[in-house]
Structure formats: structure tokens, C-alpha cells
A and B are shown apart, each in its own frame.
Chain A
Amino acid sequence: MMTRTLSQDLYDQLEGYIDSIEPTEAALIEVLHEAQHIFGYLPMEVQLFIGEKLHVPASKVFGVVSFYSYFTTEPKGKYVINICTGTACFVRNAESIVREFEKALNIKTGETTGNKKYTIDCLRCVGACGLAPVVMVNEDVYGKVTVDDVYKIIAKYTE
């Protein structure tokens, strides 16, 4: 049997949430959202827990998790740097911004730094095309980002 390694407090929190809604298969996506919010990611043990609580087979839970790019099965860094590579940002050279972040942090897109501080991700269009290229760090939005801005942005998130 699979042993749980993550904090019981977090599981209690998730269980409280599941018990507050109707725990059916239809609630799977919202429960996964909540779980990712609580744990920061959706490792196997959390997916198994959710499957058990909602009576949904693990294969199906994993099917949903693997379908939506929003869900992640790997822990993310404290600061998640999302670079928009949607059409507008793409034509305004978002690729070079991506490359600069990768160079500055020495990781590839989708990866997290060894000190668990930074994760680089790409997303498609945040709906602020007038500000292209756009970079988001957690909830903060940066517009008209240049290659030189990359280091300045990182410098703001050193804690």
C-alpha cells in the first residue's frame, strides 16, 4: 500500500474541502484545483487520495491531471515565472525572453531550480496582448518585457 509522505494538516484541509461539497465524480476537476492550491502540486499520493474520496479510479484521475496543462505533478518553485508565448507575445520576441530566463536561472522551461525558488513555465495568452511580450511572476504582471528586464525582474524575487 502507498504511504503518504505529505503533511497530514494539508490532507485534513483537502478532506474538509471534499466533505463540504458533494463528493462525486463530477467534482473531480474542482477538487484537483483545490488540492493543487493546498499542496502546490498533485503527486501520486494526492491523486490516489482524491480518487479514493470521490470513488473515481486512479487511472481516470491521472487521465484528467495529464490532460490539463494547469495541473502539475511536480512541485513548483516559490516563484513561478510564466512567459506568455501566445501569438502577440510570440511575434514580439517572447522566445528570446524565454531563452534569457533559462540562461539566467540555468534551467529549462518546465523545470524548477535546485533551491526550489524559481520555476519557468510558458503559457498561451493572458489577454494583455497590448503589453506583449508579457511575463507573470506568480500574480504579478510585467508588460513590454525586454531581454535586459529579465535580470531586473529576477532581482525582485530573491527572498
Chain B
Amino acid sequence: MERGIGKNIHSDRTFDMVMNFLGAVIILIVLVPLIFVLAASFSDPDLVIKGKVLFWPKGFTTKAYTLVFENQDIWRGFRNTCFYTVTGTGISVILTILAAYPLSRRELAGRNLLMMLILFTMYFSGGMIPTYLLVKDLGMYNSIWALLIPAALSTYNLIVAKTFFENSIPGELYESARLDGCGNLAMLVRIVLPLSKAILAVLVLYYAVGIWNAYFDALIYLRDADLHPLQIVLRNILLLGQTEQMGTNDVGMAEKIKMAEAVKYSAIVVSSIPMLLIYPFVQKYFVKGVMIGAVKG
């Protein structure tokens, strides 16, 4: 008997070691690519191209960043994306609340039918082409509205918000508010929203990250480069290799190619920094959002 317990403790220790080792391996796998990009973005392009840079900048320089910040396309993309993210998040959050709050009220007649109509769109849709034709017919093609309205609502986020309202606002609160002569809109503004800061944070973050990182709608709906969000500009520079405007004309071709490579790393860093910077402050809300959503798939 005693020997058995002793064996268990021994195997427990091995087990802990294996788990800690696996945890460390996972951290390495996630971090190595990120650190490599960061190191390369601060390194001398010559050394990057020769493959000398690994996890620490070699021949430290911020030249690639200077080039990124001098690039007018990137600036314009940045400004556009900031606009789309702020405005789009506002529209999306308001629409989501306007749907989630009434649907969370149990006394709403027809609530189940409406909910079914909404859920159905999660599993079946008209698809890319009919939506595209509709957006064109509505006159939104090549306008900022194409990025703000057609994808404004996410049914998943709606369910998260509705579930939150259902579970955290007691029905008696509505009853007593009604007795005090409080209307439904006043209830939403004065009672429900102040109690729902967590879910508001979740919605703002989910929508903001989604809009910041989106490129598909811009790809199909926006023709004018003036309207392009940052992700489209990034695609042009990083994947299609449109780097003509980078650097001055008096440098040689070889130098240009080198700088084009260096700029790619710094452009990745610059475009990702805003989301990665807010992330530590908001990650607890993200986790919360996933957990609320999990209550009801």
C-alpha cells in the first residue's frame, strides 16, 4: 500500500515536469515568429537578407520605421482604418444592443420566432455574389458605407449580449421600474446599460478588432485608393510587392530591394501594434465574452 502511494507521488512529479515542459514548448512556438519579426524590423537589412538576424536586432537601425512613417499610403490607410474602426464599432454596438435588449425580455411576444429568424442566418446565407449585387444596388459600392453597414451586425455577438442581459438583469428590476413609470427605452439607458459595462467592453473589443483586421469587404467594394483601409495598403506592400514609393530615387536597385524587404517587417509591427497594445488591458473582457457566449452556442 505504502509503496503504491510512493509510486504515485513519483509519477506525479514526472507528470508535472512533462506538463511544464510542454507549456514551455508552446510558449516558444508562439513567441519565436513574433520575436523574429520584431528583431528583423530593427536590424540592418543587409544582415537580414544574409540571414544573420535571429532573435536579437543586428546592426540596430530604425531606418525601416522611418520609411514606413514617411509612406503616405500607410498614413492614409491608418487614418482610414481609425475612422472605420471608430465609426463602425459605434454603429455595430448600437445595433447589437437594440436587438439584444428587446430579445432578452421574456415578455416580448414572438421572441422565439424572431430569434429563430436571426439564428438561421448563422447557418445559411445568400453568399458572396447576391450580397455583392445588393450592396451595389443600394448605391454603397465604392463608398465608406460599404464597410460600415453590410457587415455591421454579428449574430454571435448578438447572442453573447442577449445571454448577458438575460442572466445578469433580474426580471424584478424591470417590474419595479415599470411601476415607477419607467418606459422601455429609459429602462435600457438608465438601468440596463449602467449594469452592463462588461458586455459593452466585450462588444466594443470584438467589433473593433474585427474591423481593424478586415480586408475582404474593402477588396470587393472599394475601388478608390483614397478609401482603402490599412489592411489593403499592407497587402499591396507586403504581398503584391508595391514598394515603388519607398525610399528616394537616387539609390540603386539593389538598395531598393533590400529596403523593401526591411520595410515589410516594420510594416507588420506598426500595423499590429495598436491591437497588441490594447490587448493586455482588455484581455480579461475578451475571456469574459467567450465565456458568456459559451453558455449558449
Whether A associates with B in a native complex is no
Interface residues of A (CB under 8 A from B): none
Interface residues of B (CB under 8 A from A): none
